[in-house]
Amino acid sequence: MRNMDSLKNMRTRIANADPLVVDTTVAVVLTVLICGLIYAFTLERPPIPNVPNMRMGQRFMQQMQPRTPWLAYVLAVGTFMPLALRRRVPWLALVLSGSFALAYTLSPSTPPMPVVFAPMLALYTFAAAATKRRSGLMALLVSAVVALVPVFAFSSSVRWVAELVGTFVMLAAAALLGEAERNRREYIAVVEARVAEAERTREEEALRRVDEERIRIAREVHDIVAHSLSIVTVQASAAEALLDAGETDKTREAIQNVRATGKSALAELRSMLDVLRTGEGDAPLTPAADITRIHELAATVRDAGVDVDVVTHGDLSMLPAYAGVSAYRIVQEALTNVVRHSGASSALVEITVGAETLAVAISDNGTGATIQDEASLPGHGIHGMRERAEALGGSFSTSALPAGGFQVAASIPISRSTL
């Protein structure tokens, strides 16, 4: 385990090191190694006996002088040292290394050495670093053409053709490996980009859901608290006036209405908070308030001094939960505005259940101002009602009545085809 950790640490340090330093070190090591091989090959040695299949080596050794051929060293250095630039300037490293390697191979006074390794490494790096596809293979073809011209121009030996084929195969392998490495890096980059995009999208979706839930909770709390407190305020004022007039029985009735309204609001708030505490899986399956309780809602408003008539068309119990709750909250907010702002003595709530939509209309005979611009209105009542209706794909409108008063109308889809 310790050896594995040491190996990983070494690989990490090498990966984080300056590429020029690493490549220069590799180029120097390879140059020293190839020069050492040249020196060892050119040392003076005893004559080689006649051995079958060794005539070419015997002829070369007979032609070699005891001294070290300086041209071999120069060409070897020119072949391997450009590798120091293979990641900084890949094409330059390939051109220089390939040119010196070709000159070394064609020179009659240089010993046979694996100088093709340097162009292979340079071609691999060029293919891996290329920004265009198949650039490495194109460089391979150009190298092959450059090598073929002098070989067939200066020699017709079968040995040269065989060596050229072998060299081309090795260079082709290097180019293909470079292409594979470039494709691998591109694939990893695409995968990482997709993962980052998915993570960003997931975070944005989570934030969007949190914002939607926050707005929904704020809207629910506003509807419950605003309606209940408005009714409680009106009833408390009435109780105070009745108490001053000495009407004990009516005062007691007004106080009882205040208590009933408060208990109802607390029950709705407790139901909503239970959902937040325990999660939707443990929450009650029935809504705390829906349109089937419209008569109870109207009764609380009547207790506040506004005569409310409710007219329904259709079976309210067959409505989907989302439509029933939203319609109830719209009616609740509209009646709250009637109590707080209109100065009306009566209000009419009309609810019509159609085949595809649920329509509600709340009108009063008050003297509320005509709405010219909803954006300029204080509070969140009108905005909240509009958001409820439009969030379900419905519509919402407000208008002043010709005979006086004000009307709020909303339409909510109740079939899947209209959502």
- What pLDDT, on a 0 to 100 scale, did the predictor assign at position 373? 45
Residue 385 CB-half CA count within 13 A: 26
Report the alpha-carbon distance of residue 349 to residue 202 in Å, rounded. 43
CA 13 to chain centre: 32
- What pLDDT, on a 0 to 100 scale, did the predictor assign at position 150? 56
Domains of the chain: 2-156 (no CATH), 215-418 (3.30.565.10)
- What pLDDT, on a 0 to 100 scale, did the predictor assign at position 176? 77
Report the alpha-carbon distance of residue 219 to residue 261 in Å, rounded. 19
What does the pLDDT profile of the chain (419 residues) look like in tens digits?
556 566 666 666 666 667 788 888 888 999 999 888 888 877 655 555 555 554 444 455 555 444 457 888 889 899 899 988 888 888 888 888 888 888 887 777 788 888 888 888 888 888 888 776 656 566 666 666 555 555 555 555 555 666 666 677 777 777 778 778 888 888 888 888 888 888 888 888 888 887 777 777 777 776 667 667 667 776 677 777 767 777 777 777 777 777 777 777 777 677 666 656 665 545 444 455 778 888 888 888 887 788 899 999 988 888 888 888 888 888 888 888 888 777 788 899 999 998 889 999 999 988 755 554 444 444 567 887 888 888 888 999 988 888 888 899 999 998 754 44
- What pLDDT, on a 0 to 100 scale, did the predictor assign at position 360? 93
Tens-place pLDDT, residues 349-406: 999 998 889 999 999 988 755 554 444 444 567 887 888 888 888 999 988 888 888 8
- What pLDDT, on a 0 to 100 scale, did the predictor assign at position 392? 84
> Do strands 307-313 and 346-353 pair parallel, antiparallel, or not at all (unpaired)?
parallel
- What pLDDT, on a 0 to 100 scale, did the predictor assign at position 396? 92
Report the alpha-carbon distance of residue 149 to residue 163 in Å, rounded. 14
Report the alpha-carbon distance of residue 218 to residue 223 in Å, rounded. 9
Report the alpha-carbon distance of residue 335 to residue 307 in Å, rounded. 11
- What pLDDT, on a 0 to 100 scale, did the predictor assign at position 262? 75
The token pair that represents 369 in the structure block: 């101002």
Tens-place pLDDT, residues 383-394: 878 888 888 889
- What pLDDT, on a 0 to 100 scale, did the predictor assign at position 162? 63
